[in-house]
Amino acid sequence: MKTAIIGIGLIGGSFALSLKEHGLSDEVWGIDKSEQNQNKALELGLVDRIVTLDEAVAGTDLIVLATPVDTIPLLAVKLLNKVNERQVVMDMGSIKTELCEVIDRHPNRGRFVATHPMWGTEYSGPEAAVKGAFTGRTVVICNREQSDPDALKLVENIYSTIGMPIVYMAAEDQDLHSAYVSHISHITSFALALTVLEKEREEEHIFDLAGGGFESTVRLAKSSARMWVPILLQNKYNILDVLREHIHQLQIFRRMIERDDVKGLTTAMEKANTIKRILK
Amino acid sequence: MKTAIIGIGLIGGSFALSLKEHGLSDEVWGIDKSEQNQNKALELGLVDRIVTLDEAVAGTDLIVLATPVDTIPLLAVKLLNKVNERQVVMDMGSIKTELCEVIDRHPNRGRFVATHPMWGTEYSGPEAAVKGAFTGRTVVICNREQSDPDALKLVENIYSTIGMPIVYMAAEDQDLHSAYVSHISHITSFALALTVLEKEREEEHIFDLAGGGFESTVRLAKSSARMWVPILLQNKYNILDVLREHIHQLQIFRRMIERDDVKGLTTAMEKANTIKRILK
């Protein structure tokens, strides 16, 4: 099998490494708008050659979209316009509703498999690609009934071989759930970083004390705007819901602190402690 | 030298291990209200024996307060009432203003050294004690000019031997800085955990997708209420300041998302990215 990956950054680059590591693809071709990324991806051995979109369509069996989510729906349509009845197109973006709506009526819809592998780091670009990245993480496949059985099977086989448990969801559910367990963490990290950077203007030594707890909560604030702005906007309504609830919870904390409400704070923290159940 | 540690949990227990590891104390005695903690601390070899407060005052050179911050000021006064001119008392709490105010006029004030080692985990109790815990982390010593030179030297020597860089600050500054780089991270984690747990009541599979980013931002939500409620209340005014600013930053994000403000979001994220500078 030959694979083309569009967008050879953190996600696409790591996926290329996984395909090679597990012998899933004889060749991996790369497509990227940035010449710098093209050179870096070749240099790091993420891909065997750099090609154009038409070369990818002419010469590969599987085409993978790993670009920022705002570019995925249109690229998906363009690819579905061109592929034949044996080729498969898949995406790795973290939002699915708009994508699935856009390709819903396409005569080649069956050749597309919409996936969201739940892995990422705060870094970006080909140099951020990591070997063994996805293994052990969950992958979501959305609206599987719309994919042709052979296309679905090909993609399921890849993820299973990499060692990823597969969860099936409707696109809308996956976007809602991602807002709660992934997207909101990024917003709170960005906002926390800004809060402290703001204070640093008055208090220059404020970071002398930055310890382990701080580091783990603001780590995601290093994430790339090019990747995250489109995610927040494409998943706008779910994200506004969770953000409203999160601000509400912080306001409750604020009021309890203002009132020295030991009992309320204790109850809230003990309830929050039950998150243990879902963390290792 | 003989040392007594009051409160043999996460912090006190880890400190006991550090003293032993670096040969800083011939014996380490433990004091704890909880019989369960006493037994556990002996069983784990954190302390050599369990004693009473009076036995500690009669038989040790250094007495270390490692109890929740709401109990420290009163215990500090009681100990200063009893120690002689060669004994040293120190604390390891994360808030200093109230403590330093309370002991300010005590005739034995010089025997006290107020310290905040910047280390902790989300776990608690003697079983959470870790070997090598403090090494490489910063420790703050507050109002050092109020400590007798020999007392200060003894404590500085301990922390240096453990491998902790020492920073000197006024109590008020340390409390302000801790609010920004430690306490607020805990509040956002608690609130984030509650936000998602709230949603889980409607969406039972929401945690199927919980990935690495989620885990790192809510990890601190596992922290103990017994330790954290007093911290938030004793550092109330600084914490309310930072909490207000943090909620404000989240509201700005909310408004930018509502308005599809790509430029504003990009600028905010890129500014947040500069936090890199202070994280490894």
B51: amino acid identity, one letter:
V
How many angstroms away from the CA of B274 is the closest CA of chain A?
7
Give residue-wise pLDDT tens across range B55-76: 999 999 999 999 999 999 999 9
Q: Which of B174, B187, B225 sits opposite A270 (nearest CB)?
A: B225
For residues B245-255, give the mean pLDDT. Answer: 96
Residue in chain A nearest B270 by alpha carbon = A225
Q: Token pair of A236, please?
A: 């706008």
Report the pLDDT value the prediction gives residue A82, as an integer from 0 to 100.
Answer: 98
pLDDT of residue A209: 79
The pLDDT of residue B204 is above 80: no
- Give pLDDT, residue A35: 96
Instruction: State the pLDDT confidence band at B280, using cuts at 50, 70 and 90.
Output: low
Of A163-177, B126-140, B207-221, the range with the lowest mean pLDDT is B207-221
Say if residues B59 and B144 touch (Cβ distance below 8 Å): no
Give the percent of chain A with pLDDT over 70.
99
Give percent of chain B with pLDDT exceeding 70: 99
Count CA atoms closer than 13 A to A255's CA, side-chain side.
7
> Which pairing describes strands A112-117 and A62-65: parallel, antiparallel, or unpaired?
unpaired
Per-residue pLDDT tens over the stretch A90-145: 999 999 999 999 999 999 999 999 999 999 999 999 999 999 999 999 999 999 99
- A50: distance to nearest CA of chain B, Å? 29
- Calpha distance B194→A245 (Å, rounded): 9
* Distance separating alpha carbons of residues A120 and B140, to the nearest angstrom: 35
Cα–Cα dist A251/A101, whole Å: 37
Average pLDDT, chain A: 95
Domains, chain B, in order of start with CATH, read 2-169 (3.40.50.720), 174-278 (1.10.3660.10)
Q: How far is CA B214 from CA A5, A141, B165, B210, B217, in A?
A: 27, 20, 31, 6, 5
Residues of chain B found within 8 Å of residue A189, distances taken between Cβ atoms = 217, 272
Q: State the pLDDT confidence band at B208, using cuts at 50, 70 and 90.
A: confident
pLDDT digits (tens, 9 = 90+) for A52-86: 999 999 999 999 999 999 999 999 999 999 999 99
Closest in A208, A215, A242 to B279, CB measured = A215
A2: left (phi over 0), alpha (psi -120 to 50) or beta: beta
Q: What is the pLDDT of residues A234-273, one digit of tens each?
A: 999 999 999 999 999 999 999 999 999 999 999 999 999 9
Instruction: Tell me the C-alpha to C-alpha distance, in Å, between residue B168 and each of A170, A196, B26, B156, B210.
Output: 56, 21, 28, 11, 40
Residue A260 pLDDT:
97
Asked if the Cβ–Cβ distance from B182 to A279 is below 8 Å, we say: no
What residue in B sits closest to A247 (Cα-Cα)? B247
Please indicate whether, in this complex, the C-beta atoms of A197 and B223 are within 8 angstroms of each other. Answer: no
Residues of B in Cβ contact (< 8 Å) with A119:
211-212
Residue-wise pLDDT tens digits, B170-185? 999 999 999 998 899 9
Of A203, A257, A271, the CB nearest to B176: A203
Contact A73, A55 (CB under 8 A): no
Q: Which residues of A touch B215 (CB under 8 A)?
A: 279-280
| Cβ distance of B240 and A219 shorter than 8 Å | no
Q: Which residues on A lie below 8 Å from B258 (Cβ)?
A: 236, 240
Q: Do A275 and B193 touch (CB under 8 A)?
A: yes
Give the minimum alpha-carbon distance from A42 to chain B in angstroms, rounded to a whole number. Answer: 27
Read off the pLDDT of each residue in B247-255 and give the average, rounded to a whole number: 97
